[in-house]
Structure 1
Amino acid sequence: MYDRILVATDGSDNAQRATRQALDLARKYRAELHAVYVIETRTEYDNAIVDSDVVRQNLREEGEEALTAIEGEQDVSVITSIREGVPHEELLTYVENRRIDLAVVGAKGRSAFKTILLGSTAEALLRADQVPVLVVNSTAE
């Protein structure tokens, strides 16, 4: 049913839950798991206060850490990727280029908007209707 599953991670608790679900599905269907971390590039920084290169490097290190944890999984073929750009756009491009069969995402990521029902990336993936999307909420285990 699924040959290639994408899991989007930002290191948040919801993303970790989504990763566990994606790993379970990849094992069940013997699918390749594509773990993708996107460094958000829409955020602007006042260069007199924050060095954007330092922020980007910190985010890259965070992404590498999140992906390394997934790479160590047993019995699952894992392909990891760190991309830069608008998260949902990068994920949709990846889905198209890699012919992903299912995308798994957390309901909400690391956003300051904790009251939003569904995170902007998850919502954008659903609206694009390009691939089936499994949205994992904060209580899923």
Structure 2
Amino acid sequence: MYDRILVATDGSDNAQRASRQALDLARKYGAELHAVYVIETRTGYDNAIVDPDTVRQNLREDGEQALGDIETEGPPDVSVVTSIREGIPYEELLAYVEDREIDLVVVGAKGRSAFKTILLGSTTEELLRAGQVPVLVVDSTGG
């Protein structure tokens, strides 16, 4: 049913729950799991106060940690491919879906972003709107 599953992570609690769900699905279907962390390029801070290069490096380190956690948590029979991308999260994820012929995207209902909507995170909402691929949204209780 699924050959390639993408889990989008930002290291948040919801993303960690989504990662566990994605790992379970990958094991169940014998699918390759793609774990992607996107460094947000839209700035939500004052460039005169905070050095953008420092912020980008800190976010890259956060991404490496989040992706490393998924690799460590995954069972040995699940192939995990990791990627750190830069840009607008939903655009980068949709491009990855198309490039890698992803069959299913697993995301948390909300992430860490300061760009929030009332019911869902903006990235999750945009992925659902795109209708490019089925999207499994994991809520704060993990289901």
TM-score range, shorter chain: over 0.9
**Distance in 1 (alpha carbons) for counterparts of 2:62 and 2:8:** 14
1:129 paired to 2:120: no
Match of 1:93 in 2: 95
**Distance in 2 (alpha carbons) for counterparts of 1:48 and 1:105:** 33
**Distance in 2 (alpha carbons) for counterparts of 1:44 and 1:51:** 12
Match of 1:49 in 2: 49
Q: Note the residue ranges of structure 1 that are not aligned, 5 or more in a row.
A: none
Runs of 4+ in 1 over 4 A off after TM superposition: none
User: Which deviations, in whole Å up to 9, do the C-alpha atoms of 1:109-129 show, x marking residues without a partner?
Assistant: 013466721110000000000
Distance 1:115 1:98, change over 3 A: closer
User: Which deviations, in whole Å up to 9, do the C-alpha atoms of 1:68-101 show, x marking residues without a partner?
Assistant: 1111222210000000000000000000000000
Match of 1:40 in 2: 40
Distance 1:112 1:86, change over 3 A: closer
8 Å CA contact retained: 2:23, 2:33: yes
Aligned length: 141
TM-score, normalization by structure 2: 0.94
Match of 1:26 in 2: 26
Q: Note the residue ranges of structure 2 that are not aligned, 5 or more in a row.
A: none
**Distance in 1 (alpha carbons) for counterparts of 2:48 and 2:101:** 42
Amino acid at match of 2:41: T
1:107 paired to 2:92: no
TM-score, normalization by structure 1: 0.95
Amino acid at match of 2:82: T
- What RMSD, in angstroms, separates the aligned Cα atoms of the two structures? 1.4
